[in-house]
Amino acid sequence: MLERKEVHSIESGKDRTDFWHTDITFMNRPAMACMLPSVAVPAAGGDTMWSDTRAVYEALAPSLQTLCDGLAAYHFEPHYAQAVADGHGNVWEDKKLTRLLPATHPVVRVHPETGRKNLFVNPKFTLRIVDMPEAQSKGLLRLLYDHVTRPEFVVRYHGSLGTLAVWDNRATMHFGIFHYEGETRVMHRVTSRGDPPVGPAQTPD
Instruction: Give me the catalytic one of 75, 109, 170, 174.
Output: 174
Instruction: Give me the catalytic one of 23, 105, 128, 168.
Output: 23
Q: How far apart are CA 77 and CA 107, in angstroms?
A: 17
Active site residue 23: yes
Q: How far apart are CA 30 and CA 77, in angstroms?
A: 13
Active site residue 174: yes
Instruction: Give me the catalytic one of 105, 128, 170, 189.
Output: 189
Instruction: Give me the catalytic one of 21, 105, 128, 170.
Output: 21
Active site residue 189: yes
Pairing of strands 95-96, 186-191: unpaired
Q: How far apart are CA 118 and CA 153, in angstroms?
A: 12
Q: How far apart are CA 67 and CA 136, in angstroms?
A: 13
Q: How far apart are CA 61 and CA 113, in angstroms?
A: 24
As annotated, the active-site residues are: 21, 23, 174, 189
